[in-house]
Amino acid sequence: MDRKSELQATVDALAQAGKGLLAADESGPTIAKRFERIGVESSEENRRAWRNLLLSSPGLGQFISGVILYEETLGQRADDGTPLPELAARQGIVPGIKVDKGKIALALAPGDEVTEGLDGLAKRLAGYRQQGARFAKWRAVYNVSDKLPGWAAVQANAEALARYAAICQEAGVVPIVEPEVLMDGAHSMARCAEVTEAVLHAVFHALHRHAVVLEHMLLKPSMVLPGKEAGHAAPAEVAMQTVQVLRRTVPAAVPGIFFLSGGQTPTEATVNLDAMNRLAPLPWRLSFSYGRALQEPPLLAWRGDAANAAQAQRVLLQRSRLNAMACLGQYDEAQENAAG
């Protein structure tokens, strides 16, 4: 299969109707915080056991088309010795890999940050492909205030995202482009919309400059939401504002938009996605790429005890099913209550 056909096959496998992505690519410090909340030590074996539990959940492939893994997980094995990426692939779940190296302060721009990790990326991608990864993810973050993000941060992150995406496509790996406008702060929903529109405009201008093929990439944006300290927005308002910004900035050639949950509760993330999909017809498939919003309920059920694994898997499957329904605009609150 040539590179173009391979990229198309991966996109087709990921952007299936009624399916989304499981983000299981937490860095060491992030997963340590999540484990700490349930009283579990963040040892390599506990991380392996948790990710083995996720990927071996019976029937998960009905609702999850791809999983974003952390570099450590690519090399780990299931209880029966199967490499974890292969365990996912057996369920029809495409393995992917987080490739950025995290954020740092942007020089001479107080409060702004930029993501690093481009050095040696092509070589790393070749290794990840050998381990089974067929797509990648790079996250850029934007802090929001009356003055943030600055123009330099918007441009620097757009350039990095575009360079990453071009390197991925050259390597035969589908890039997921993730510009996250953070919820932290007291900014209004209108300010979030303004920043998100500016960020996405810059990202797609940069992707065009770097000759990235839009049909062979996926977008992972944040929803348009008020800051955490500014109150709550109704799902219909979130849907209207988010879709309006997307229509203004995202070309119809992009096959799928997979939202991050970004600090929303599991239920909020599901309800808001459902509200967007009720605004059909839309030029792109709107789906989910959730980390905490999918993992938090099964984590609370597991609590590090192997005896709880089957129950945790059932909780994960139900949470995935609810989000799959939201992808189709068919979420039912009664099923949420039943899940609880």
Distances (CA, A) of 185 to 3, 182, 219, 237: 43, 8, 24, 19
Alpha-carbon 164 to chain mean position: 16
Alpha-carbon gap, residue 200 to 179, rounded angstroms: 8
Distances (CA, A) of 219 to 62, 271, 291, 303: 22, 20, 16, 33
Q: Peptide bond before 283: cis, by omega within 30 degrees of 0? A: no
Q: Catalytic one among 19, 98, 137, 220?
A: 220
Alpha-carbon gap, residue 208 to 190, rounded angstroms: 27
The secondary structure of residue 63, as a DSSP letter, is: T
Cβ atoms < 10 Å from Cβ of 241: 20
Q: Catalytic one among 178, 180, 268, 296?
A: 178
Strand residues in 172-314 grouped as ranges (E) = 174-181, 218-219, 256-259, 285-290
Q: Peptide bond before 95: cis, by omega within 30 degrees of 0? A: no
Annotation marks residue 220 as catalytic: yes
Annotation marks residue 229 as catalytic: no
CA angle 306, 310, 311 (to 5 degrees): 105
Cβ atoms < 10 Å from Cβ of 321: 17
Active-site amino acid positions: 178, 220
